[in-house]
Amino acid sequence: MINNLFLSTSLKAKKVVVAAAILSCTLLGVNLLRFGYGSNHANANAVVAAEDRYFQIAVLGDTQYYTAERHNGTMEMFYNQIDWITANAEKEKIAYVVHVGDLTDHGDNKPIEWERAKDAMYRLEKPRPGLPHGIPYGIAVGNHDLNPNGNPNGTRIGYAKYFGRKHFLGRPYYGDSYQNDESNDSHFDLFEANGEKFIVLYLVFNDPARKEFYDVALEEKVYNWGADVLAKNADRKAIVVSHSMLKPDSSSTSNYVAGDGAKPKPGAFTKQGKRIYEKFKHSPNVFMMLCGHVSGEALKELSFEGRKIKVLLTDYQGRRNPNYTDKDRNGGNGILRLMKFSQDKQMLSVRTFIPKPNNQVIEENDDDSNFSVPLYK
């Protein structure tokens, strides 16, 4: 378990309080490093302004056209995303990074794509003060990461080699995988931020829509394992991540162009998404689900037993440049999403933008890419 606590000092705090907090951190020495960017001590929290009590999670949509260099996607776009995260992690209080799957386009059929994915994602692992393993992150397995495409029992040699259990075992944020499986396609992570504890559960792609590959017995075993893991971590707020859960609303054009309009439309569940929701809505700590797979943006908010569960789709692989024809595809254009957890305001704010070199960004200011909703309600 690791604490990623990004704390800043209130401008209104008395200098003596600030000095005492700094002295306390200095005396703590190694213990401070264990907690990441800041401390989780009550005295430290006392000097944090209410407007600063937040942290963020970065979400990477399908990157398959960057690693495959198809549809005008480039590795530079991928690098720009990761480099922006690493350059701004402390300033933006990024506690964790989620990749929703389809790191690659051709899976084990083209090992070079795994090499490229590793070169990009491993940049997150560069040691930082208080974070000897870098920024905590997790990756869902998408249908394109499996060979044959979409077969949950197919090969995932590249994924296991670069992102398998052996690679993450021993990192303080890594939980474990289903049945200690080295492939790591279903696993969970643990992290803390500003005093809140979280578990992130990843489930392998296994969509009933792919009738030739769908494995109902595997689904039952994996989902039961996942529910048990969440129950054993009932004191942690839970985020479920799987590649296929939601598709855009039929009237949405967010699959290929930004600026679709008001707050994201709710979209519709995929077959796997429906089954995931029906299973994990019974886990009381689940409040959010994240996915990719189908290009577009969507936000489905559901209520169950007095709780609100948010399901968010984040996938830009189908985006296009003007004139918005199929020939104008841009591979995803390096679009990145940040989810801000404002703890005192109890709001979830989503920001979507294209990071560029030299810390430049191109914002998506339309309301389905940049919006706020109640955090846990």
Rounded distance between C-alpha atoms, residue 261 and residue 365, angstroms: 10
CB-CB neighbours of 195 under 10 Å:
12
3-state SS assignment for residue 348? strand
Q: Which tens digit of pLDDT belongs to each residue from 203-238?
A: 999 999 999 999 999 999 999 999 999 999 999 999
Contact 314, 341 (CB under 8 A): no
Rounded distance between C-alpha atoms, residue 241 and residue 163, angstroms: 16
Rounded distance between C-alpha atoms, residue 231 and residue 215, angstroms: 24
The CA angle 312-346-192, to the nearest 5 degrees, is 75
Q: Which tens digit of pLDDT belongs to each residue from 340-371?
A: 999 999 999 999 999 999 989 999 988 889 99
When comparing pLDDT for 253 and 162, which is higher?
162
Rounded distance between C-alpha atoms, residue 340 and residue 6, angstroms: 13
Say whether pTM exceeds 0.95: no
Highest mean pLDDT among 30-34, 250-254, 310-314: 310-314
Which amino acid is present at 213? Answer: F
Which two structure tokens, joined as six digits, stand for 255?
Answer: 């699959």
Q: Which tens digit of pLDDT belongs to each residue from 48-101?
A: 454 669 999 999 999 999 999 999 999 999 999 999 999 999 999 999 999 999
Rounded distance between C-alpha atoms, residue 34 and residue 46, angstroms: 20
Which two structure tokens, joined as six digits, stand for 247?
Answer: 């598709």
